[in-house]
Amino acid sequence: MSSKALQVKQEALLHECLISIGSNIEPERHFAQAFTLLGSECELVLHSQAISTPPVGFLDQPDFLNAALLVRTPLDHAMFRAYLKAVEDRLGRVRGPNKSGPRTMDLDIVAWDGELLDQSYLAYDYVRLPVDEVLAASGRSLRMRED
């Protein structure tokens, strides 16, 4: 098998995942740590610029830093979702009764292999704007989920 054919076969085994990333506890530091972790443990294809956004839901907290990442992974969807939760934990995420409260890191799968999974993309600018930046820069688009 030629090296080009082998490379194509290996790339076919990778899933592409669009991730929404957010933090409002030392966000610059936690973003840098998340990029380092994800870049060393996944294939980091592209990321958006970070934007500052006001909190949604629970308002008595600092503004958030939000961005989007496009990564490739050999893990399946369920395993990758669990991996992202473990990354959040490694970055000091504390899960409490207030799901909208402050956090060191929030990593949510927005799209998997080009299919939109998270309806937050349609509802919130803090998800849509960074994701759209990554889509435009990468030449990719999203398909709506067929249920």
CB 105 within 8 A of CB 44: no
Residue 90 a catalytic site member: no
Q: Whole-angstrom distance between the N-terminal and C-terminal Cα of the chain? A: 39
Residue 108 a catalytic site member: yes
Q: Annotated catalytic residue: which of 93, 132, 140, 145?
A: 93
With 0-12 / 13-18 / 19 or more C-beta atoms within 10 angstroms meaning exposed / middle / buried, residue 101 is middle
Q: Annotated catalytic residue: which of 72, 76, 81, 108?
A: 108
Q: Annotated catalytic residue: which of 106, 125, 132, 140?
A: 106
Q: Annotated catalytic residue: which of 103, 125, 128, 145?
A: 103
Residue 132 a catalytic site member: no
Residue 103 a catalytic site member: yes
What residues are paired with 23 via a beta bridge?
65
Catalytic residues: 93, 103, 106, 108
